[in-house]
Structure 1
Amino acid sequence: MITGAYPKAKVPAVLLTTLTSDSWIVIGCVVGALVLFASERIRPEGVSVTVLLTLALTGVVTPGEAFSGFASPAVVTVGAMFIMSAGMVEAGVPAAIAAAIERYGGTRITVVTALLVLVVGGMSAFMNNIAATVILLPAAVSLARAADTGSSRLLMPLAFGSLLGGLMTQIGTPPNLLASEALADAGYQPFGMFDFVPTGAVIFGVGLVYLLTVGRRVLPDRSGPNVTEEVSQTREYLAELLVPSTARIAGQALTTLRWGRRFDVSVAEIIRDGHRLRFPSAHESVFVGDVLLVEGERDAVLRLVEAEDLEFAVEGQAGQTLVDDEMSVVLELVAGPSFGSRGRSLVDIRFRSRLGGLVLGVWRQGTRVRTPIRRLRIRPGDALLVRMPRDRIVDLETSSEFIMLSTRPRVVLPRPRMLLAVAILAIAIGMAATGVAHIAVAGMFGVVLMILCRVLPYDRLYAAVEWRTLILIATLLPLGHAMQSTGLAVLVADTVGDLLRPYGALPVLAGIFLLTALLTQVMSNAGAVVLIAPLALGIAASSGIAPHPVMMMVAIAGSAAFLTPIGHQANILVYNTGAYRFLEFLKLGGPLTLLILITSLVVVPWIWPL
């Protein structure tokens, strides 16, 4: 823990009494960014790049300052943690933990909830929050079904547990790293690797008790779709059609026929001369005598039959091939965070050609989506029912787009590989914690070890990085510097300090916490911390408060994304999967946020003297 006197803050000698043109440009960038973040019309990284270009083109920052964020140690460290988290996943460490939870979790909902929150919190302290949530989500759904309760009883605590767990170490979440770097940039001693443990552990414990007591009464008992329940409903949409000698389509390729675009149906199988061609490619042709297994709405199939002069095959056979057989299997998937807030279509990701699967239906918040699948934009958390060739399941498991919920044989990875991955992560953390190397250097050292030791295949290296997050952080950092260089941060800090100083230090800390927490709901947690950090340091200096407790409050509030399902990717992921309603996040997350604020106001000044 950091002890000793705090150095003087770097404050300009002459405080600005009027806003300069550069200050107005910065204010415009801040307001414009907040509006665009809240509207979700433009991707967050697109907003941050636009802000960066505005500052550079208007001369508020120099070209060197504009792109200095890409050389930021915090950006390098966040990238390194993405890669090392992927190495842990590749080695099977989180999967082994998830399997153990499923095996020994039991059916008592309180015990299962506690176990999930403790495990995801422990994992999130040392790896990416999203990765921890993604790994444990199938286990949570499986445990909910085993306990004969709705998955909504477990999924929101899972997401909230990952956010709470990230508070416990410097590498647990980007806000912790950014708060530490803000201190270093201002001339103060940065936080150490485990300086977050005392406050983070107390807040995590309080959050756990809240989720186990209040949470069990507030959370709804609601489930998303279940494969075994939905198969019978989907079976009516499959039909076997015969291509007669009179059909005009004989000899034409499926890509030429464009049945998906014209009728919104898909060809799942072609039976020709007694042989089954499952999941045919778009370039496959149809011939007289072929029997086509077609998936689509009843009306769509009838329109297809009439338009193309097809005939129904033997009555009673339609839909029988939907169930699992020796060559194919029906699986339940959840769309992952890579689909983004605006979503992507299955055509965009080339689902059929890359993975060879047939999508039988899409569910959002427990309700089947009736929009034609080809035109539907899949969003994170959407549930998909798909029919897959058994030999393509491995491709699906290694895909970054989807999470498999259906029960499947687990791949048992060699134990030495798991131990090696854990050892490399421990070495990197130990180097940073003991001061042997800067945390960014230690992180990159861990990345190199994982590549050299083949824990993470080299071809998975770039896919492991959440580039959008890195771009967002790197392009927003110059905005924080611009707020300081134009004097805007000092002016705002003095104004706020004058208003709050008569009431004491605790209201100042509470105000900073609430402002950061509110911004986190409409923009990324990293963006909120980048924006608030220079203001918080200025307020601390003008109010006579030590900088470290103030920045600890900023870091904690930056992870308090509990009020809306769009506040954090972990929330987005469970929002649709758990069939939650928007206000249910506020119902559980609002009191939790206030509880964390009260706990922080007690614990932070005790550990970090004001």
Structure 2
Amino acid sequence: MALESIGLAPSTLVFIILGLTLGAFIWGRFRYDLVALTALLASVMLGLVPADSAFAGFGHPAVITVAAVLVLSRGFERSGVVDVIANQVLKVGERLLLQLLVLVGTVVVLSGIMNNVGALALLLPVAMRMAREHNTSPSLLLMPLAFGSLLGGLTTLIGTPPNIIISSYRGNITGENFGMFSFSPVGIAVAGAGLAFIVLIGWRLTPKRSGKASTEEMFDTANYLVELKVTEDSKANGLTLPQLRDELEETIPVLAVVRDDNRRAGYSFHGILREGDILLLEAGPDELKLLEDKVGLSAIAEPEPEDDPSEGEASGNSGAEKEGDDKRQPVDTEGLQLIEAVVRNDSMMNNRSVKQLRLNQQFGLHLVAVARDGSRLKQRLRDIRFQTGDVLLLQGSEKEISDSLSTLGCLPLANRELHLGQPRKLAISIGIFALAIVAMLFDLLPAAVAMSTAALVSLLIGVLPLRDGYQAIDGPVIVLLAAMLPVGEALETSGGAEIIANSLLTFGVDWPIYVSLVGLFVLTMLLSNVVNNAAAALLMAPIAASLAQGFDVSLDPFLMIVAVSASCAFLTPIGHQSNTLVLGPGGYSFGDYWKLGLPLSIVVLVVALPAILWAWPL
């Protein structure tokens, strides 16, 4: 389609496409990778992006580097880092300030050497375990932990995608990329100030959700379990548990089968049901009626108070509801292998149901309950489409559950002694990473080549299984970067970035240049809170470069402003994957984030601007 036939200037068309793209990002109805791909194809059809270079972004060094860092980060997760960190962090004691200092300080350091979402994934189960052992509200630990992962990503080239994007953009303009530790002087100053603020003051601004945020409260399983008996006339008599589920056409997991006073977990019971068996399961009134109507199972009646209580105990502490009592008696859940897990942003479960995932058949997992935004979902399990941050209560075999959770993309939260992945290969993993860093520092290899080589060696020597390596690559993020890179270039080549920069220059002509830097910082930070931080960096980099050219000053401080502000999405749970990941376990609401995020953003701005001008003078 020729631009002349439309009658609009290329820059106008770019603004229209970007406006619609940002609107779609904010709306959230469609995944951001699909939105970015649509923007790319629209730009090609309108002649803004040459057709022969439409997909050049998939081979861009920034995209390759991000993919390689994701693989290396997963290698750290699988190499025993969780156990090493947990053993040390859990020794800090009961003082909340010390817990925050160790947790947030550790995630800041880790986020500098691996993907910040991966660093948070390592420490999230540790924080939950610490909260439970010391009777601390998880909400006081998790938001500071998430924000700490964002701050730590500022310290090195590979800590966060915006740094990689800005480095690559500088290379395209000046012929020289930012180095591995070019971001460190500013990043360390900002991360240190942010850490001090969070530990000393900021944690007081987070909501204390002692009830909803506690997964024990969300999943008060023992008080929801009922015991149903198989009678001679029950249709369930003679069925296996899979046949029973097929008959019900409903996701009602049987957690245990009691036969002859012996209780076996549902996942390990493979025989047929027979008269006298007692099924232990979780069911509400609707499910109880369904079980009675379809397969003839009904709840065991509780003994009256005057009866011998031992009769009730012999049937396993019946969980049926007493007449006139609004709460069932708790049922012992010992040995049922119940575990809580949170859905990651890169999970294959996102926007899919239990039936689509075939959780039981393919992964050997029973879904027992789901909590979202700190509250247990009341709808039928089969109707739930999982979202990032959902907290799941699952049952499965201890031998298989760790691999199943890893494959599904879930983080275990329960206080347990599961070791995710392969045996410890931490030293090998760190050694490979260190060699890659040395190659980058001495300019032996470009960042993309060094990181890709390290990722490949990790796969070849078995630090990370090949399947896990492919799963570690966050497809939506890769597509987003690859699609938005040409669109961002179109913003520059069409003159759109120059138009925006000239408008800012006109507005700030009577003000010192520092005011324009503050405006650029705030604009990028606000944008990163509603769109992916990588997209914010891609869109704002050309504008920053045009501003620097208009002021006739050095490009570097303007690019550093974009790099720092794009990674400081502290105001909303959707601004960064780390924020979304703690939403469910912490029991937060959408409006909780700005209470700590806004003052932290101000701290970052106040510290970052002079640090940038000191390290990268105009």
Same fold (TM over 0.5): yes
Alpha-carbon displacement from aligned partner over 1:8-42 (angstroms, at most 9, x marks no partner): xxxxxxxxxxx953222211110000000000000
Change (3 A) 1:99 1:157: same
Aligned to 2:322: none
Specify which of 353, 369, 392 is matched with residue 377 of structure 2: 369
Contact between 1:243 and 1:290, CA under 8 Å: does it hold in 2?
A: yes
Q: Distance in 2 between matches of 1:584 and 1:161?
A: 16
Question: What's the CA shift for 1:165?
Answer: 0.4
TM-score (norm 2): 0.88
Contact between 2:108 and 2:151, CA under 8 Å: does it hold in 1?
A: yes
Aligned to 1:64: 52
Superposition pairs of residues 324-335 of structure 1, within 5 angstroms: 324-325=334-335, 328-335=336-343
Q: Distance in 2 between matches of 1:442 and 1:280?
A: 45
Question: What's the CA shift for 1:262?
Answer: 5.6
Mapped pair 1:544 → 2:532: no
Aligned length: 588
Alpha-carbon displacement from aligned partner over 1:262-297 (angstroms, at most 9, x marks no partner): 666333345678887743699986566654434311
Q: Distance in 2 between matches of 1:602 and 1:430?
A: 30
Q: Distance in 2 between matches of 1:307 and 1:256?
A: 13
Aligned to 2:309: none
Contact between 1:263 and 1:303, CA under 8 Å: does it hold in 2?
A: no
Question: What's the CA shift for 1:465?
Answer: 0.8
Superposition pairs of residues 419-568 of structure 1, within 5 angstroms: 419-568=427-576
Contact between 1:183 and 1:189, CA under 8 Å: does it hold in 2?
A: yes
Superposition pairs of residues 343-362 of structure 1, within 5 angstroms: 343-362=351-370
Question: What's the CA shift for 1:255?
Answer: 6.1
Superposition pairs of residues 276-355 of structure 1, within 5 angstroms: 278-279=265-266, 291-312=278-299, 316=312, 317=316, 318-319=318-319, 323-325=333-335, 328-339=336-347, 343-355=351-363
Contact between 2:372 and 2:391, CA under 8 Å: does it hold in 1?
A: yes
Change (3 A) 1:359 1:255: closer
- Secondary structure of the residue aligned to 1:337 is coil
Mapped pair 1:178 → 2:156: no
Specify which of 164, 182, 187 is matched with residue 195 of structure 1: 182
Specify which of 107, 115, 125 is matched with residue 112 of structure 2: 125
Mapped pair 1:92 → 2:92: no
Change (3 A) 1:188 1:361: same
- Point out the more displaced range, 530-539 or 410-419: 410-419
Gaps of 5+ in 2: 1-6, 303-311, 320-329
Aligned to 2:323: none
Question: What's the CA shift for 1:568?
Answer: 0.5
- Secondary structure of the residue aligned to 2:94 is coil
Specify which of 48, 52, 76 is matched with residue 40 of structure 2: 52
Specify which of 102, 110, 116 is matched with residue 115 of structure 1: 102
Q: Distance in 2 between matches of 1:269 and 1:580?
A: 33
Contact between 1:505 and 1:545, CA under 8 Å: does it hold in 2?
A: no
- Point out the more displaced range, 46-55 or 381-390: 381-390
Change (3 A) 1:388 1:504: same
Contact between 1:94 and 1:135, CA under 8 Å: does it hold in 2?
A: yes
Q: Distance in 1 between matches of 2:589 and 2:402?
A: 34
Contact between 1:259 and 1:265, CA under 8 Å: does it hold in 2?
A: no
Mapped pair 1:597 → 2:585: no
Specify which of 3, 24, 29 is matched with residue 12 of structure 2: 24
Q: Distance in 2 between matches of 1:337 and 1:322?
A: 34
Contact between 1:516 and 1:528, CA under 8 Å: does it hold in 2?
A: yes
- Secondary structure of the residue aligned to 1:398 is helix
Alpha-carbon displacement from aligned partner over 1:292-343 (angstroms, at most 9, x marks no partner): 4343113421342144333445854345875122xx3222222222358974
Aligned to 1:36: 24
Mapped pair 1:77 → 2:65: yes
Change (3 A) 1:106 1:413: farther
Change (3 A) 1:251 1:413: closer
- Secondary structure of the residue aligned to 1:403 is strand
- Secondary structure of the residue aligned to 2:174 is coil
User: Over the residues paired in the alignment, what is the CA RMSD in angstroms?
Assistant: 2.8
Alpha-carbon displacement from aligned partner over 1:493-519 (angstroms, at most 9, x marks no partner): 223222223312211211111111111
Specify the code of the residue in structure 2 equivalent to 1:535. I
Specify which of 189, 206, 213 is matched with residue 200 of structure 2: 213
Specify the code of the residue in structure 2 equivalent to 1:131. G
- Point out the more displaced range, 344-353 or 112-121: 344-353
Q: Distance in 2 between matches of 1:48 and 1:262?
A: 39
Specify the code of the residue in structure 1 equivalent to 2:296. D
Specify the code of the residue in structure 2 equivalent to 1:356. G
Q: Distance in 1 between matches of 2:488 and 2:209?
A: 43
Question: What's the CA shift for 1:562?
Answer: 0.3
- Secondary structure of the residue aligned to 2:549 is helix
Mapped pair 1:380 → 2:388: yes
Q: Distance in 2 between matches of 1:70 and 1:228?
A: 44
Question: What's the CA shift for 1:254?
Answer: 6.0
- Point out the more displaced range, 584-593 or 548-557: 584-593
Q: Distance in 1 between matches of 2:12 and 2:248?
A: 50
- Secondary structure of the residue aligned to 1:560 is coil
Mapped pair 1:161 → 2:153: no
Q: Distance in 1 between matches of 2:551 and 2:229?
A: 81
- Secondary structure of the residue aligned to 1:563 is coil
Change (3 A) 1:386 1:322: farther
Question: What's the CA shift for 1:491?
Answer: 2.4
Contact between 2:127 and 2:142, CA under 8 Å: does it hold in 1?
A: yes
- Point out the more displaced range, 137-146 or 539-548: 137-146
Change (3 A) 1:94 1:433: farther
Change (3 A) 1:387 1:321: farther
Question: What's the CA shift for 1:394?
Answer: 3.2
Superposition pairs of residues 569-588 of structure 1, within 5 angstroms: 569-588=577-596
Change (3 A) 1:584 1:225: closer
Superposition pairs of residues 256-275 of structure 1, within 5 angstroms: 265-270=252-257
TM-score (norm 1): 0.89
Specify the code of the residue in structure 2 equivalent to 1:390. E
Alpha-carbon displacement from aligned partner over 1:423-447 (angstroms, at most 9, x marks no partner): 1111111111221111111111111
Change (3 A) 1:437 1:414: same
- Secondary structure of the residue aligned to 1:593 is helix
Contact between 1:381 and 1:573, CA under 8 Å: does it hold in 2?
A: yes
Specify the code of the residue in structure 1 equivalent to 2:34. G
Specify the code of the residue in structure 1 equivalent to 2:430. V
Specify the code of the residue in structure 2 equivalent to 1:180. S
- Point out the more displaced range, 481-490 or 118-127: 481-490
Specify which of 228, 241, 244 is matched with residue 241 of structure 1: 228
Question: What's the CA shift for 1:604?
Answer: 0.8
Mapped pair 1:143 → 2:134: no
Question: What's the CA shift for 1:415?
Answer: 8.8
Question: What's the CA shift for 1:403?
Answer: 1.4
Alpha-carbon displacement from aligned partner over 1:353-398 (angstroms, at most 9, x marks no partner): 2332333322233322211122122322222233333333333453
Q: Distance in 2 between matches of 1:246 and 1:416?
A: 54
Q: Distance in 2 between matches of 1:601 and 1:341?
A: 41
- Secondary structure of the residue aligned to 1:125 is helix
